[in-house]
Structure 1
Amino acid sequence: MEDEKRISLRLPTELHARLAEKARTDRRSLNSEIVHLLEAALGPVGGDGQSP
């Protein structure tokens, strides 16, 4: 099992609603959607560390 870190996160109500709707549309949990979007924004793990 992968190591995971649990965090508490405060989101503006409108952003939460947008994320929840996107997660529902993509058939993911809210947590999985946030992880997916962060991974897409940051690139693959172990990248070269340079900004695009």
Structure 2
Amino acid sequence: MEMNQIRYFLAVCEHRNFTHAASASNVSQPSLTTAIKKLEDELGGDLFVRDR
């Protein structure tokens, strides 16, 4: 687990949107999504319900 993964997780919680969270974190949306997916894999489950 890396600190940036926690920061991205908190940004998604705050913005409730991966694209907005990525923009606020100054990273691309695919990079943020990849980091969140790795965090989910490490923790063994989904952290967010994805509606799309």
Q: TM-score of the superposition, structure 1-length normalised?
A: 0.47
Which one has a bigger Cα radius of gyration? 1
* Larger RCO: 1 or 2 (CA < 8 Å, sep 6+): 2
TM norm structure 2? 0.47
